[in-house]
Structures are given as structure tokens and as C-alpha cells.
Amino acid sequence: MCTTLSVDHSLANHSPHRLVTVSVTTFDPRSQAIVLSLSRITPTTTHITVLDSPQDDNSTLIVVTVVLVACIVGILIAVITVYCYRQKARIRAKLKGLSSNGGAVEGEATADYQDEGQAQGAELQWGAVEGEATADYQDLCRQRMASKSSEKPEPLSRISSVAMSEGANPSPSSRSSTSSWSEEPVQSNMDISTGHIVLSYMEDHLRNKDRITKEWEALCRYEPDVSSTKVGALAINAPKNRYQNVLPYDHTRVLLNDSTNALSSDYINASTIADADPRNPAYIATQAPLSSTIADFWQMVWEQGAVVIVNLTPMTDADTVHTLYWPSEGGTRYHFYEVHLVSEHVWCDDYLVRSFYLKNTETQETRTVTQFHFLTWPENGIPPSPKALLEFRRKVNKSYRGKACPIVVHCSDGVGRTGTYCLVDMVLTRMTKGAKEIDIAATLEHIRDQRPGAVKLKEQFEFALTALAEEVNAILKALPQ
């Protein structure tokens, strides 16, 4: 609205309080102007013109605003829809991956469940009734294993020849038997030329028995630079050694936390074995636990963060009946550590897999530990065939891969079969990582620098070469030429 006043001030001495009369004198329809005439009592007239401009049309602004708001809302809806679709696609991909791995080995299934068990450890809160917690966890494990094995071949009949000490009667609900199948070697970054050189070297040694004998004699003469075993030889530690001539080096022995040890001791007959970095050992080589050292063994497993145990000892080994360091069913407490047997799966005549739930009763923390038990390797001998041990190793590594903790490996004394297994695994691990140079004898010397007497027999060294040759040959065949 615009108003224009036109006032005639020719008579300036008129008083402002005089009466005024207003009348419409003219109206202009085109400009919508109204001409008002203010008449005073004097003959002088003041004209006031009021110009009324047309009002702005707000409808256009309203329409534009509505359109903009609608566009913004549409964009938000589109973004949310795309995000939800991608999330669902990821979930479907994960589920598809799980279902496609249904025929995977027990090691992989156990590794998957370790993460799940650790994630649920805080939720289970073992402060609840022990029996109920164990039962629930066992049911959960069996459901998990059942879902993993739904596409596996028909299982063999239960193998009842597995020796168990103390006449234990396994619970049928926690035991199962599954047939073994041959597995292809894992994907490898092995250098092809290096693989052929190593294969040629091993095949030449295997053909020429005299070369193996000379190399073994040279290995027997090898003396480590540092070889003190004073701590293990102390009289107070003698009862903890299965054999008094097999002691760990002082500089590589595993140290227990003496403040939480049952005997306030830091000693256990166990040695760390590292490949390249001594700060990150790949293995812990140890003897089979004695009845008096079972609590020390589980303390070591807990404190070293181990989640995989490789047991290379049959329960009845020559004339020795080894102590069962795990419960045959249910749970058992060893000092501060509770061990519960969750499941036991017999994969074939050569090995089986057990899953344990380990709890630190002081901190209430829990962990899943998997034991791979090789059954057909005699104390002073070699396995029936390299194939069984190589398949066993693949299952161990599938369960272990991605972990930053050492694997606990033990046999009766922790040197013969344990050293042979570590030698085979260390050489193959180096080769699959693309190492350009492999010296098997030097690798064994490196292991002996950390665990005295590793690989006791020439037959075990020869078996290691045979197993390495077979696996390298299989890997080379699988690689693109």
C-alpha cells in the first residue's frame, strides 16, 4: 500500500485544530488512486491522494517452498533406501558365505565359534549356576556345529578305539564322529622357482640315504651359542620335569606368573619358538602335563593367550599312560582355572578335535580353546603316512589363521614329535609366504637354538623331508604355471 498526500499550504496561518471535512473527489480505476478532498472551514482546500498499489501474489512463493521441501524429503528417502539395500546385500553375502562353507573342516568351524564364544563370554556371566551355564553353552555349540556340518558327507560309525585314561565314559551328546576327506593345499604365495629348487633338494636327499645320514650327523654335532638350563635343573623344579635330561633353555623358557601360581613358582618345562621375531613366538613347545603340573599347563595357556593346542601324543604311549589334563565330560577346576569340555569330534582314525571353555575364576574372564589331537604317532617313531599329518596341519592352521598368539605344541617330552611338527610347519609357512631361500637343516638348527633336542631321530628328520616334498609338490601343482 502506497499513500501520497498532496496538501496545499497556501494558507499557512490556519490553526491545525480547525475542523476538517473529508470527501472523495475523484477515483482513478486504472491506478486505483483515490483522491480525497479535505475541506476546512476556510476556503482553502488541501488535497490528499492515497495510492493503493496492488498486493504481491504470495501463492507463487508458497508453491516453490512446497516443491523444495518435497525434493529434500525425496532425496532423504532415496539415500535411506540405498543404505538399507546395501546393508541387506552385505548380510545376504555373509549368510551365503557361511552356507557355502558348510562342508569346511572342524578347525574353521571352531575358529568361527571362538570369536562367537568370546563375544558372548561377557553376556554368559559365569557367575550364574555353573551347570546351567555349561549346559546352555554346550547346546549352543552343538547347534553351531550342526549348522556347519549340515552339508558334510554321511558320518562314519563312531570310532570307539580312542584310548581314554581313568576309564572315562564319554557323553554321547558331546561326542561325534565325522569322516575325513582329502583337502587341497591352501592358497600360497610360494615362489615357483624356489619351490622347484626345494623340491629337487628334498627328492635328492630322499634318494641318497648317505646324504641324509651325513646331514643328520652334522645336525647332531651342532651346539647352540646359548644353552644354559640351570633353572630347569634346580632341585625344586625336578618334580616338574617328565625327563630330567630334557630341560628348557633359560633364555627361551616360558615364565609363569608366580603370584598366581599354586606353588608360587614361575617354572614350567616349556619353551617359546619364534621364526623371525623373538617377541612374537609362533609356537610353545612343551612336555605332556604331569598330574602335578596340569594347573601350570592351563595357567600357561591362559597367560600366553593361546587358543589352539596341538597334542601329538596318544593317551597310551608305549609303556606310558599319560595323564588326562582335561575333563572327560563336564568341567574340572585346576587351581584358578576351570576347564569345560564343550565338544569332541573324531574326524578319522588319525586325529580328533576337542573344544574347551576355559575360565579364569579370579577375573571371571572366559575363552574358547581348541585342541587338535593326533592319535597315530608313536613316541619313538613316525606317523603312518605324511598325508595324515599334512591334513591334520591344514585343519590346525585353518583354525589358527589370523591369530597373533602362539600355538601350544606338545608330545611326551616336547622335543621329538613336537620338533618335527614345528619344523614341517615352519618351513611350509615360510614357503607359502614367498620366501626365496629355504635351508631345512638351518631351520632345524634355528629351532634347536630355542628348544634343545628338537627332532630326536634321523627317521623323524627324514619323515619331515618326505612330508615337505609331498606338500610342496601338491602346492606347485595347484599354482598357475
Assess contact for 384 and 376: CB atoms under 8 A. Answer: yes
Q: How far apart are CA 274 and CA 251, in angstroms?
A: 12
Q: What is the DSSP letter of 462?
A: H
Torsion angles phi and psi, residue 371, rounded to 5: -110, 125
Burial of 334 (0-12, 13-18, 19+ CB in 10 A): buried
Q: How far apart are CA 30 and CA 19, in angstroms?
A: 32
Distance of alpha carbon 206 from the chain centroid:
38
User: How crowded is the C-beta side of 463, counted as CA atoms within 13 Å?
Assistant: 24
Q: How far apart are CA 374 and CA 471, in angstroms?
A: 18
User: How crowded is the C-beta side of 236, counted as CA atoms within 13 Å?
Assistant: 7
Q: Respond yes or no: is residue 84 known to be catalytic.
A: no
Q: What is the DSSP string of 251-267?
A: TTBPPP-TTTSTTS---
**Which residue bears the cell 562342508?**
103
Q: What one-letter code names the amino acid at 244?
A: Q
Set of cell numbers at residue 125: 556371566
Q: Provide, for the chain, the percentages of residues in helix, strand and coil under a 3-state DSSP scheme, each rounded to the nearest 5.
A: 40, 20, 40
Between the alpha carbon of residue 218 and those of residues 17, 153, 212, 418, 475, the distances in Å are: 134, 48, 10, 21, 30
Which residue in the list 141, 348, 411, 422 is annotated as catalytic? 411
| Gyration radius from the chain CA atoms | 42
Among 170, 130, 160, which residue's Cα sits nearest to residue 343? Answer: 170
Q: How far apart are CA 154 and CA 458, in angstroms?
A: 40
Q: What is the DSSP string of 19-65?
A: -EEEEEEEEETTTTEEEEEEEESSS-EEEEEEE-PPPP-THHHHHHH
Grouping H, G, I as helix, E, B as strand and the rest as coil, residue 339 is strand
Active site positions, annotated: 411
